[in-house]
């Protein structure tokens, strides 16, 4: 029962927290797992980091006292502390790029009941000369359609907060809290902090711009390579393995489409692909995407047979290395480890007998 007696309401909140502690912990894990699952299936989004926490009991009371108690008492408004601690369960979604924040926000808004939304990015960008923490905050509850499912019905009435940030926004939030914790710092220090905030914002935009350009280059390479497929007389694509590929220079952007066409179930990250391409070009600087396609077309069937026969797991990069070794064992001798080479040579010898 709501009242204006702070000591009474403190006791009531402590009892609520202690009596429901396991339920709240279970809800925290369930919400985190659900958000992770939803975002892992969200199209081309780079999987973000999702972390969670259950707010400390006495820390929650201190927050209520600092933010709400005086105002409620002035207005003679009875209260229950738990109704004002909407982030008792808190999740943080940290995306790689600033552009992903809006995408994640809209995804979660579709999947949960939205109780409140705070667009800190919009607030900052709608003002001149203001820089600082940008991100999106959502107060959510399990949707009506999910609340009837056995795994969620226990948590149907529990709300939680999600903070959605880019990696740089997350870093700035932590630093900004420490740097500006004392509001009475000198003006010249505030100016320095604001300049630093502007640099963080610029870095966030540059990372997003570079990421967009990377995606654009990858799409261009895929378009060129797919357009290189010959057409049959009836106008349908020629699916034959002999379809020529253009002599594009080998790069991470041209490598990934070719690799995906041969290993469609494998997720090729740009970082791993870039490292692989760099190592290959170090060995042969003139190596082209047409060369790679020819190598895979000639030797991948045999390497796939070997991959099924060996007890060792060969990921696509390792299989491509085996294909290169088959192309020219002398040139590519050290593209495989000694044990890999010995095992492969032994299998090749047995397969010829």
Q: Which of 310, 312, 330, 332 is nearest to 321 (CA)?
A: 332
179 in the same domain as 285: no
Report the domain count for the chain. 2
Domain presence at residue 218: no
In terms of residue numbers, what domain contains 25?
A: 6-208
Q: What is the CATH number of the domain that holds 137?
A: 3.30.460.10
If one compares 42 and 313, the residue with the highest pLDDT of the two is 313
* Residue 128 and residue 19 share a domain: yes
Alpha-carbon span 325 to 322, nearest angstrom: 5
pLDDT at 152 over 60: yes
* pLDDT above 90 (res 212): no
Helical segments of 118-228, H only: 120-125, 144-147, 167-179, 187-227
| Residue 232 covered by a domain | no
Residues 191 and 119 occupy one common structural domain: yes
The pTM assigned to this predicted structure is: 0.69
Task: Give the pLDDT band of residue 233 (cuts 50, 70, 90).
Answer: very low
Q: How far apart are CA 113 and CA 156, in angstroms?
A: 10
- Please name which of 246, 244, 247, 255 lies closest in space to residue 214, comparing C-alpha atoms: 255
Reply yes or no on whether the pLDDT at 122 is more than 90: no
| Interval 138-150 mean pLDDT | 95
Angle at alpha carbon of residue 161, lines to 159 and 162, rounded to 5°: 135
Q: Which helix (H) or strand (E) holds 317?
A: helix 316-327
In a domain, 226, yes or no: no
CB atoms within 10 A of CB 267: 9
**Look-up of token digits 């907060």:** 161
User: Measured between alpha carbons, how far is 145 from 153 in angstroms, rounded to an integer?
Assistant: 10
pLDDT at 234: 43
Report the pLDDT averaged over residues 142-165.
94
Q: How far apart are CA 316 and CA 264, in angstroms?
A: 10
Which of 208, 236, 260 is a domain's end point?
A: 208
pLDDT at residue 241 tops 50: no
Question: Is 80's pLDDT higher than 70?
Answer: yes
């Amino acid at each position: 029962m709501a009242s204006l007696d702070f000591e009474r309401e403190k006791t009531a909140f402590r009892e609520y927290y202690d009596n429901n502690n396991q339920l709240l912990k279970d809800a925290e894990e369930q919400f985190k797992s659900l958000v992770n699952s939803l975002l892992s299936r969200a199209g081309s989004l780079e999987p973000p980091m999702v972390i969670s926490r259950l707010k400390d009991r006495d820390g929650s009371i201190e927050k209520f006292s600092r933010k709400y108690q005086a105002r409620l008492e002035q207005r003679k408004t009875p209260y229950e502390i738990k109704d004002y601690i909407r982030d008792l369960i808190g999740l943080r979604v940290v995306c790689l790029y600033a552009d992903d924040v809006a995408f994640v926000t809209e995804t979660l808004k579709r999947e949960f009941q939205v109780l409140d939304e705070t667009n800190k990015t919009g607030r900052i960008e709608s003002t001149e000369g203001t820089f600082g923490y940008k991100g999106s905050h959502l107060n959510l509850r399990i949707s009506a359609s999910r609340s009837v499912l056995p795994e969620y019905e226990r948590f149907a009435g529990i709300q939680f907060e999600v903070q959605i940030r880019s990696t740089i926004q997350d870093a700035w939030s932590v630093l900004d809290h420490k740097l500006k914790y004392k509001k009475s710092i000198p003006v010249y220090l505030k100016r320095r902090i604001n300049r630093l905030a502007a640099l963080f914002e610029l870095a966030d935009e540059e990372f997003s711009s570079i990421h967009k350009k990377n995606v654009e280059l990858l799409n261009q390479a895929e378009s060129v390579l797919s357009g290189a497929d010959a057409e049959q007389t009836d106008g349908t694509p020629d699916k034959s393995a002999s379809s020529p590929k253009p002599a594009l220079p080998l790069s991470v952007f041209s490598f990934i489409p070719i690799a995906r066409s041969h290993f469609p179930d494998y997720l090729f990250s740009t970082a791993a692909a870039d490292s692989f391409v760099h190592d290959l070009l170090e060995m042969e600087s003139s190596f082209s995407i047409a060369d790679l396609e020819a190598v895979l077309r000639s030797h991948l069937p045999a390497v796939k047979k070997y991959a099924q026969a060996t007890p060792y797991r060969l990921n696509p990069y390792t299989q491509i290395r085996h294909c290169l070794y088959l192309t020219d064992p002398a040139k590519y001798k050290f593209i495989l480890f000694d044990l890999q080479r010995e095992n492969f040579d032994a299998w090749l010898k047995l397969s010829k007998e």
